Structures are given as structure tokens and as C-alpha cells.
Amino acid sequence: MLTKDTQKNLERVKALWSQLEAIYEKTSPSYLTADWPRFSNYAWDNFDPKTVIDILLSNKQTYEPLRDVLFSGLCSWTVAPNDEDLTKNAMMLVGIKYLCHLELLGRGAFPDQPIFGDAASRISPTGRDFFRDFYHPIGGLITLLESSSQDEFSERLFSASELTMNVVGLMTTVHMHVAHVAPLGRFANASTERGLLTSDRSTSNRSTLNY
């Protein structure tokens, strides 16, 4: 429970904060214009690969690290389109790295006042849209704490990608047969079953996945 004096002081700080935001909006306008889609709508609540790709290919400038977050999510979605948690985890890991980057910038700029440095990083042009569009809408720190570590995520992604790698291996095997073996005229047609066995042996030797 806040005391009356504390509440009054916070109201004064809030008023000053609003003034600072107004100044920043004039000098460094937000990239989150009315026509710009919101992250939670197309990438978090429901991952829409078409919208994600459109943003990745767009020439319109946006805040850091939105495109890195989206690209990471798209890579994970491509491997495991039905694993929503894995896609979110991929994006959260990029968001966590950027959050650490912002905090280091703030503390570095104001080493004697780390609390102010943290606040400054949130209202600065560098971090303002990140907190508005990504951090707070997905649930903030409570959500980020649910993220797997980088190593755990890599293991999960590798496990989810085994089927995809087998399909790619099969396509590679069949292509090799069609392009280089069949023209010789001395071998039978390519066998899908044998191709799967070959691709499975070639991918089963992989124990790690760098992502």
C-alpha cells in the first residue's frame, strides 16, 4: 500500500515522464505508426508467416530488434510449424539479448545512477518501441522468465527438425539419382523407401544444431 506522500510524488514523476515522452515523440517519432501492425497480433497470439515475411522484406524502417526477432521466429516456425511454444521461445531469446543490451547502455551512460539509467533506456528512441510493441504486450519479465536457455532451445529445435532434415535428405538423394545416376541407364528408378533410409542415416549422425 502506497502512502499519500508517495502517491503524490509518483504523480509528479508521471507528469514529468509524460513531458519527456512528448519531447521524444517530436525529436524521434515512434516507428509504430497507425498503419504498422502490432507484434502481438501477427507474431505472438497467432504466428502469421505471411505478415512476418512482408515485414522482413519491407523497406520501411522499424525499431531494433524487430526483424531479428521475427526472423528467429520464422526459422523456428519453418522447422516446426505446429510447435507454438518453440516459435515463441525463439523470439524471446532474441528479445532477452536486446533487453540486456539496453540495460548495459543505460548503466553505461549513467554509472552513478543505475536506476535512472534503466529508466532512460526504456524511454530512449532505442528502447521505447521495443517495450511498447514487444516487451509489455507479451507479458514482460514474467513471460521472458519462462523461456528455455539457448542450449535447451537448440536441443528442442534439433529434435523437432529431424523429420524436416529427413525430407530434405530424401529430396537431395532423389535429385542426385535423377541428375547423375538415371542418365547412365544402368540403374533402376529411385526408391523412395531406400532414399528415406539413406537420408535417415546421414542425418542421424548430427548431434548438435547451431541456431
Q: Which of 147, 167, 188 is the last residue of a domain?
A: 147
pLDDT score, position 193: 62
Picking from 93, 205, 201, the residue whose alpha carbon sits closest to that of residue 158 is: 205
* Dihedral (CA of 35, 40, 45, 49) sign: positive
Picking from 147, 120, 119, 126, the residue whose alpha carbon sits closest to that of residue 28 is: 126
180-205 residue pLDDT tens: 777 777 666 656 565 555 555 555 55
Whole-model pTM over 0.95: no
Sequence-distant (≥ 6) Cβ neighbours of residue 36 within 8 angstroms: 60, 62
pLDDT score, position 192: 59
Mark whether 180 and 96 lie in a shared domain. no
Within the chain, which residues score under 50 in pLDDT?
206-211
Mark whether 87 and 166 lie in a shared domain. no
Cis before 137 (ω within 30): no
pLDDT score, position 20: 82
Mark whether 88 and 116 lie in a shared domain. yes
pLDDT score, position 207: 44
Mark whether 130 and 163 lie in a shared domain. no
Mark whether 39 and 140 lie in a shared domain. yes
Virtual CA dihedral for 18, 19, 22, 27, nearest 10 degrees?
A: -140
Boundaries of domain holding 116: 35-147
What is the C-alpha end-to-end distance of the chain, expressed in Å? 46
Mark whether 196 and 104 lie in a shared domain. no
Mark whether 49 and 103 lie in a shared domain. yes
In angstroms, the CA 117 to CA 124 distance is: 10
